[in-house]
Chains A and B, each alone.
Chain A
Amino acid sequence: MNAPAPALGCTNTPVLKERGQREVFCGLTGIIWLHRKMQDAFFLVVGSRTCAHLLQSAAGVMIFAEPRFGTAILEEKDLAGLADAQTELDREVDRLLSRRPDIRQLFLVGSCPSEVIKLDLHRAAERMSVKHAPHVRVLNYSGSGIETTFTQGEDACLASMVPTLSATAEKELLLVGALPDVVEDQAMGLLAALGITKVRCLPARRSADTLAIGPNTVFALLQPFLGDTHAALTRRGARHIPAPFPFGAEGTTLWLQAIATEFGVDPALFAKVTAAPRARAEKAIAASAQTLSGKSIFFFPDSQLEIPLARFLTRECGMTAVEVGTPFLHRDLLSPDLALLAHGPTISEGQDVDKQLTRARAARADLTVCGLGLANPLEAEGMATKWAIELVFTPVHFYEQAGDLAALFARPLRRRALLAPLAPRIEAAE
C-alpha cells in the first residue's frame, strides 16, 4: 500500500514569496499543445511580432504544414484607433475561416499589446460567433504575459469554454486538463474497469463531442494549474474531487482512489484493477530510482507541476528536494500533494531570477529543473539540469508513463556519468 504521509508535510511551510525579474514563458505557450489536442480548433493570437516569434520559438520552428495557430500582428495603424482594429480583425478572421473550412472552434487569444490597448476580444468573439454560427464557435481568453504564466494559458483557455457547456442533471465525471490522447485513453480505460463509464474530458478532442455539466457533475483535475477552470466549473455547480495529481504509481493510485470513493467502487475491485498496472509502474520507476535515489533536486518555477513532481521524486524515487519553486501556489488544489511532501525544502512562489540563481549555485543540487534559457548556462557551470518544458510536452501522467517520468529526471544524471571522462569544462559556442 501507499507509504504513510509524513508526520510533518509542507502544508504549513511558510512560502518564500519572490517578486522580481521572472524567467518564464507567458500563457500563449499553451497553444503549442492545446492546438494539437483540439483538432478542429484554431488559435488566433491578437498581438505583436514578439508573440508570433515566441510561439515559433517554443514550437521549435519545426512544424511542417500550415499550423492551426497564428498571430494577427497589430500594426501602427491598428494602434491609432480601436474601431479600426475590430474591423481589421473581422477581415482577418473571415479570410482565415474561408480558407480553413475544417475549423469549428476559434479562440481569439489576447496578448500584452491587445490588453494594454484594451482591444475588446470578448465583444469580438460574441460578434463573430453570431456571424459564423452554427459552423464555428468563437471564444476568447488572454494568454498575455502581464496576466498569465506559461501553463496558466491552458487554464484560461479551458475556463473560457466552461460557460458554453450545455447543462445536464446526470451524475457524470469530468476529467479536466489537456493530455495526449493516448494517456487520456488509458485513464478512461482504468475508470471503465472500475465501472465508471459516464466520463467526459475537457477539452474534448473535437467540438462535436458535446460536453455537458450541472449540479451532479463531479470533476477531477489532471493538472495542478487549473485554478480558474476549477472556479468556473464550481460556479456551474460542479464539485471537485480533491486528490494528489496522478504522477507516479502513488499519485495515480491516490487520484483513482479519490474518484473510486466518490463513486462507491468496491475496494476489492479497486485493488484488482489497479494491482497490475501499479506493479508495472513501480517496476519501471525502480529502474530510474537507482540513479535518482539519494540525489538532491532544485526546482525553478515554470509549469506549476513542481510540487506534485517534488512529491513524486521524493517519495517514489528517493530524492531530496532543496527548493521547490512554483510561479503560483494554488493551495486549494495542491493541499493533498503538499501534505505528502515531507517538510524540508524551501517552497518559493514567484521569482527574482538572479537571487534564485544565487540560491541554486549555493545549493548545487545534483539536479536543477529550469527553463531552456537557464539550462545550458548552468550546465556550463557544472550543474546537471532538466529542462522543465519537456514535462508539459511529454506524456507523463498515470501508471504507464510513471517510468518515463522518472526516466526524464534520471537521463541527465546518467548522461553526465557516461560523459565523465570528457573534460568537465567543454568549450561552448561563440
Chain B
Amino acid sequence: MKLTLWTYEGPPHVGAMRVATGMKGLHYVLHAPQGDTYADLLFTMIERRDHRPPVTYTTFQARDLGGDTATLFKTACQDAVDRFAPEAIIVGASCTAELIQDNPAGLAGSMNLGLPVIPLDLPSYQRKEGFGTDETFLQIVRHLAQPCARTEQITANLIGPTALGFRHRDDITELTRLLAEMGVGVNVVGPMGSRPSDIARLGAAHFNVLMYPEHAESAARWLETNFKQPYTKTVPIGVGATRDFLAEVAKITGLPVKTDTTRLRLPWWTRSVDSTYLTGKRVFIFGDGTHVAAAARIAREEMGFEVAGLGCFNREMARPIRALAKDYGVEALISDDYLEVEATIAALQPEMILGTQMERHIGKRLGIPCAVISAPVHVQDFPARYSPQMGWEGANVIFDTWVHPLVMGLEEHLLHMFRDDFEFHDDAGASHHGGAHKPRDVVAEAAPAAADVAGSMPDAGASLGDSVPVVQPSGQIVWLSDAEAELKKIPFFVRGKARRNTENYAQTKGVTAISVETLYEAKAYYAR
C-alpha cells in the first residue's frame, strides 16, 4: 500500500484509452465500474475532443457481482460492435474487473464477432499509464500488421503519438515536413490518426520514426524484428537533436541531409544580446524521460543554462535518465511522489523549473518560474495555435515558452535601476504578465484549491490552508531591521532566494541575528 496525493500517471487502461481514442475505427470494450467513466472527460475536456472516446464500459454494480458479470461483458461487446461497427476491438479490464477475473479476452474471443479481437493484459496493480499505451499499441501492431511489400518511394511510419499527448498533434506535422524535405514520405502515422486497416500496412514503410519511446518502443522493436524495419533512436526535440535525427534518417535511407533552416530562429534568438541574462540560469528539469532528456540538452547547449537537477516520473526510463544525470554531474530523481519532487526543488532552489503541470504548481508555491515541457497535460497544453516541440519550429516554440516565465533581460536591469520606483516595487510583476507575480513564502502559504476543470467552492475552506512546510521556517533566526530593509531593495524575483540563502548561511555559521553584513557575506558565499 502506498499513499498517493497527486499522480503523474493514470492506470494502464487509461493508456489503452489514449491509444484507442487517437485511432479511428477501433473500439475499446472495458470491463469497469461506472465511476471509471470519468476518464472520458480527460479527452473531451482537456483535449477538447468533439467525440466521445470510443470506449464502452460495462459499468457493473455491486448487485451484479454475485451474478453474471461475464454476460454483462458479452452483451456490452455485442452492443458495441453493432452500434459502432468498428474494424477491430480491444478488450480488457480495469483494476476492479481484474479482481473479479472474468477473463474478457476469453469471453470476447469466444463470441465470433466477425472482427479482430485484441486482448489486453494490463496489470493494474503493478503498472501505469505509460505501460498501458506502449503495451496496447504493441498488441494492436502484433495482431493487425501484415507483411507487405515496401513502398516504391522511401517512406517512414511515425509511431508513438496518442490522444492526450504533449503536443503530439503538431509534432506530426513538423516531422512530416522535415521528412518531406529529405524526400521521405510518410506511410502511416499511428496510433494517432490511423485505422486498424492502416496498421495492417505498417510493413510497407522502409523504417520507423519512433517519436515517443514511452508509447511505442515495444512496437518499434517488434517491427524491427519481424519486418526488418530499423527505427530512429533520436527524438528530434531541440536544434542539436533535430540535426542528429536528420543524420540518422540519412544513414538509414542513404539519402543526403536536406533541410530548410530558414524558419529556425532559436540559434539567433539565444545568441542575441538580450539573451545574455539567460547565462547560467539554474534549472531543474522533470517530466517524462523523453522530454526531460531533450530539455536537458537544449538547456545546456542551446540556452546556456546550468542544469541543477533532473529526473523523471516514469520508472521505465530510469536507466537512461540516470546515465544522463551522471553526464550532467547531478543526481537523477526517479520518483512519482509529488512531495518528493517538491522537496527536491525546494532544496535545490533553481531559478527556473522545466517540468509538468505538477511542477508548475510547485513553482507557484515556491515562487519559482516554471515552463511546461511534458505530460501529464492540462487544458493549457492544447493551444489553438501551431506549437510543436519537434523540429525547427519546435525549437522556436521552446525558446519562447521557456523564456516567457522569466523576467526579460533588459527588464531585469531596469528593475535594478528603478528598484525604489513605486511601479517596480515589490509586487510589480514582469511587465508582460497580467497580474502581479508574487513569490510567496511556502510556510505562510494558504492557497485555496482552485479546481480549474470542475469549478470550485470558493468560500468553503479558503481560510484554512493546506500548507506543508517544505523549507525550513525562519523561526529561530531574526533579521535586524537594517538587514530587512536591505533585503527589500533586492528585486522581488530573487528576494526569496536571497532570504533563504542568507538564512541557510547564518544557520551554518551559527549566526542568530542577520545583519547587513551577514546578508552580503552570504551573497559572496553563494556567488558563482
Listed in ascending order, the chain A residues whose CB lies under 8 Å from chain B are 20-29, 32-33, 35-37, 39, 44, 46, 48-50, 52-54, 56-76, 78-79, 85, 88-89, 91-92, 95-96, 112-113, 115-117, 144-147, 149, 178, 180-183, 354, 371-377, 379-380, 389-390, 393-395, 428-430
Contacts and interface: CB of A to CB of B under 8 A. Distances in A.
A191 to B, nearest CB: 19
A62 B362 CA distance: 11
B208 interface: no
Interface centre among A73, A85, A379 (most CB of B within 10 A): A73
B48 interface: yes
A35 to B, nearest CB: 8
A66 to B, nearest CB: 4
Given A50-B36, A377-B51, A73 B1 contact: yes
B224 interface: no
Contact of B449 (A59, A70, A181): A59
A92 B3 CA distance: 7
Interface residues of B, number: 85
Contacts of B451: 32, 58-60, 62-63, 393
Contacts of B4: 49, 52, 70-73
Given A27-B35, A53-B11, A72-B2, 13 more contacts: A57-B41, A62-B449, A62-B451, A64-B450, A65-B467, A66-B468, A112-B35, A146-B62, A147-B62, A180-B459, A372-B45, A393-B454, A428-B49
Interface centre among B11, B62, B460 (most CB of A within 10 A): B460
Interface centre among A65, A70, A85, A182 (most CB of B within 10 A): A65
A25 B96 contact: no
A73 B2 CA distance: 5
B445 A65 contact: yes
Interface centre among B11, B65, B126 (most CB of A within 10 A): B11
Contact of A33 (B59, B452, B460): B460
Given A66-B468, A70-B5, A53 B83 contact: no
A428 B404 CA distance: 27
A49 B376 contact: no
A56 B7 contact: yes
Interface in B86-133: 94-96, 99-100, 123-126, 128
A67 B466 contact: yes
Interface string B352-378: 000001100100110000000000101
A49 B10 contact: yes
Given A57-B453, A180-B459, A430-B193, A66 B39 contact: no
A372 B53 CA distance: 12
B37 A373 contact: yes
9 contacts: A24-B34, A61-B6, A61-B452, A112-B35, A113-B99, A145-B34, A380-B50, A389-B454, A428-B51
Contacts of A29: 35, 38
Given A65-B467, A144-B33, A429 B49 contact: yes
A149 B34 CA distance: 8
A39 B460 CA distance: 9
Nearest to B168: A430
A105 to B, nearest CB: 14
B415 interface: no
Contacts of A181: 459-461
B276 interface: no
A205 B456 CA distance: 17
Contact of A92 (B1, B37, B58, B449): B1
A79 B99 contact: yes
A25 B38 contact: yes
| 8 nearest A-B residue pairs (beta carbon) | A26-B35, A145-B35, A373-B40, A428-B50, A380-B50, A60-B453, A145-B33, A372-B41
B37 A24 contact: yes
B457 interface: yes
A21 B57 contact: yes
Contact of B453 (A37, A70, A372, A379): A372
A376 B46 CA distance: 11
Nearest to B339: A66
Given A22-B34, A49-B7, A92-B1, A32 B339 contact: no
A429 B47 contact: yes
Contacts of A25: 35, 37-38
A56 B338 CA distance: 13
Contacts of A116: 65, 96, 99-100
Nearest to B342: A66
Contacts of A27: 35
Contacts of B447: 64-65
Interface centre among A35, A57, A96 (most CB of B within 10 A): A57
A309 B10 CA distance: 34
Contacts of A58: 38, 451, 453-454
Nearest to A47: B95
Contacts of A430: 169, 192-193
A48 B125 contact: yes
A379 B42 CA distance: 16
A279 B52 CA distance: 43
A89 B1 CA distance: 7
A71 B336 CA distance: 14
Contacts of B35: 24-29, 54, 112, 144-145
A239 to B, nearest CB: 28
Contacts of A21: 56-59, 76
A70 B83 CA distance: 38
B320 interface: no
Nearest to B192: A430
A71 B468 CA distance: 18
Contacts of A180: 457-460
Interface in B1-25: 1-7, 9-11, 13-14
B259 to A, nearest CB: 26
B527 interface: no
Given A36-B461, A49-B10, A74-B125, A373 B5 contact: no
A53 B14 contact: yes
